[in-house]
Structure 1
Amino acid sequence: MGKTIHWKFTVILLIVGFMVAVQFNSMQKPEERDTRDIWAIRHELSTEKQYHSELLTEIRELDQTISTYKSLNETNAGKALSETVDNLYKQAGMTTISGPGIVLNVRPSAESVAFGVPITGISPDLLTRFVNELNRFKGISLEIDGKRFTTLSSIRDINGVTSVNGLHISTPPFTIKIITPTMEDSEKLYNFLSASTIRDDFYLDNLLLVIGKPEATIEIRGYKERFENQFLKEIPKGE
């Protein structure tokens, strides 16, 4: 009889100890809660809806291209294919383009010049933050110090000098050109950059970001480097 009671008492203690351990672990590692307010969630939802809209636009454009190919004969199909290739070159930044936009000037701050602070180039981190700010706007074309910046471009530190596409960025002053789809977009970009804290980041690095007024026509040169084709192969004629 005593052994039975002792055994039951041991089981009860094990169960109670297990429950206490689970409760203690849950208190030490509480579930993370989403503490964002309603406006932060609405902003994220708006961003996702914008991405969804852009994807639908791209799908419609591809469907239209396929329909065009199907409706053309062999003679016109070659012309349509050539036009498609030209459009892809434009999207990849291989061609020189012009349109409405703004020109930015990066130059040493007046204080750094007055106090004789050595003028250094823009840092890769600062330039990357600046490009990320611009990526809030879709459909823009960018040229940094005469170097076309595309989705395949990279910003790196090479031997202590900031480089884009493997080419060194000049020591300030230098210019940054931005082309937008419409003049209205240029106005929005101008207002956004004028109110952005990115200008303070430039100032902390003894640099000034001077934002020019929107212009009706700005020219940006095409990407000079050739793209390397690693996967696609041309099919010999007759196959």
Structure 2
Amino acid sequence: MSALFEPFEVIPAIDMQDGDVVQLVQGERGTGTQYGDPVVAANQWVEAGAETLHLVDLDGAFEGERMNATAVDAILESVDIPVQLGGGIRTIDDATSLLDRGVDRIILGTAAVENPTLVAELADSYPNRVVVSLDAADGEVVVSGWTESTGVDPAVAAARFADYGACGILFTDIDVEGTLEGIQSSVTARVVDAVDIPVIASGGVASIDDVQSLYTTGAAAVVVGTALYENKFTLTDAMGAVENN
């Protein structure tokens, strides 16, 4: 396995919509709770000990065009830890522009599913900087801002993208995303078992026990959003719990 995340990381999510931090429930528009300025959030997470930041341009995910570029640029200028970004990255030009501007890792979702050779081309030019996002609902990969089902099993898709050169898989369980009702670790475990590259787990984390459960699946990291913003636990406590395992 790559040293992309060693040791296991708890990564704060900064999902952006209309210039604000927003956390959606099960990926559905109109369900978001706003949590303020993305740049303020980024700096707060860095101060809390984050080792990586996970940025998502939700407008880009839904519309296919990145709408929060100003906030992303401001975050890149204000933090000194790795930043990974997804949402609305559809072309080679989109990807290379972000990578050359300072984004450490890009996350390809819809574009990867629709054009897998895009992953191979970018991975060849930018080794260890291309992550593929697989969002699953009802056991199938979904795309276009979680609105279209592909009928593809996420474990099968993960193995395919590992072969194309992805340095990691971001797996989001949409069935529990943003609900604060807990995770479905068996779903993540299937994806982890299908590949030899790091899997970043996401979706449904409501407690430190959930973080520990995802750690035991063999996932390399977990992205946490709503639970941190709603103060269900602190980033420091979550990282400490895993380090003590």
TM-score class normalised by the smaller sequence:
under 0.3
| Relative contact order higher in (CA < 8 Å, ≥ 6 apart) | 1
Question: TM-score of the superposition, structure 1-length normalised?
Answer: 0.22
Higher helix share: 1
Q: Which has the larger radius of gyration?
A: 1
Question: TM-score of the superposition, structure 2-length normalised?
Answer: 0.22
